[in-house]
Amino acid sequence: MLTPAQYHPLDFERLTPEEQLAASRQFLAQMSQRRTVRDFSTEPVPFELIENAVAAAARAPSGANQQPWTFVVVGDSDLKRRIREAAEAEERESYAHRMSQEWLDALSHLGTDWHKPHLEDAPYLIIVFRQSYGLAADEAGAPVKVKHYYSEESVGIAVGFLLAALHLSGLATLTHTPSPMGFLCDLLERPPNERPFVLIPVGYPAADAQVPVISKKPLGEVLVVV
Ligand code: IYR
């Protein structure tokens, strides 16, 4: 069934040039402060910060506006422990046997290994699932698959919004992809159309948190003006 396009006037706040520049510089300065954190404090985080960040992420653009994402928030200690145990089992195997030497070499400057204490220490884990297809019901109520367009790109954009929102709320995050991530479907009892995309521990950094010394490419290397 084809739905005709319907429009209403755009709600757009036009800033003055000064406001634009100030906002642009402030956002750049704030995002420049973001670091991926692996040492988390167990200090609790107000749930509304998580809820608002997920709501902001869910405003992301998506292919055909299909919003092919589900954000599962885990705060329960027992479930976090089970996720840690399953993730560490996979990571132990990956670091020992599955990752190529080339991959291990590329990661060596980050100092990561199979130990994932942050999966229990961080007060919340947000597991983002990509809906590889949608599930609707036909007239008889039987499930039908709905094709999703650009779901990888869409979820990637939403995760970008999510990381920015959490950072601007004064929280630390880690983009973690234990590999393979199938155990998350089982532990979190997700429907068959959902694939784990990324697991994001969220919280305050530990008081003695350390981050690897890294640098970002200079603008001249990533920006091409033609
Ligand atoms: N998933 C592993 C390995 C790892 C892979 C990449 I690519 C990283 O940027 C960092 C780690 C882990 O989380 O340790």
Quick: pLDDT tens for 11-24.
999 999 999 999 99
Q: Tell me the Ramachandran region of residue 64: left when phi exceeds 0, alpha when psi lies from -120 to 50, beta otherwise.
A: left
Query: Which pLDDT band, with edges at 50, 70 and 90, does 1 fall under?
Result: low
Each residue of 205-219: pLDDT tens digit?
999 999 999 999 999
Reported as a single tens digit per residue, the pLDDT across 145-187 is: 999 999 999 999 999 999 999 999 999 999 999 989 999 999 9
Could you check whether the bond before residue 180 is cis, i.e. omega within 30 degrees of 0?
A: yes
Model confidence pLDDT, tens digit, residues 184-206:
999 999 999 999 999 999 999 99
Q: Is 148:131 a contact under the CB 8 Å cutoff?
A: yes
The residue-averaged pLDDT of 105-131 equals 97
**Backbone φ, ψ for residue 207 (5° rounding):** -60, -35
Nearest Cα residue to atom 1 of ligand 1: 178
- Nearest-atom number in ligand 1 for the CA of 113 is 14
At CA 80, angle to CA 73 and CA 170, rounded to 5?
A: 55
- Find the Cα–Cα–Cα–Cα dihedral 88, 124, 80, 115, rounded to 10°: 20
Taking the centre of ligand 1 as the mean of its atom positions, its distance from the CA of residue 110, in whole angstroms, is 9
Ligand 1 binding pocket (C-beta < 6 A) is 91, 107, 110, 112, 176-179
For ligand 1, pick from 94, 99, 177 the residue to mutate: most ligand atoms within 8 Å of CB.
Answer: 177
The answer to whether the CB of 147 falls within 8 A of the CB of 133 is: yes
Domains and CATH numbers, the chain: 37-206 (3.40.109.10)
Which atom of ligand 1 is least distant from the CA of 177? 1
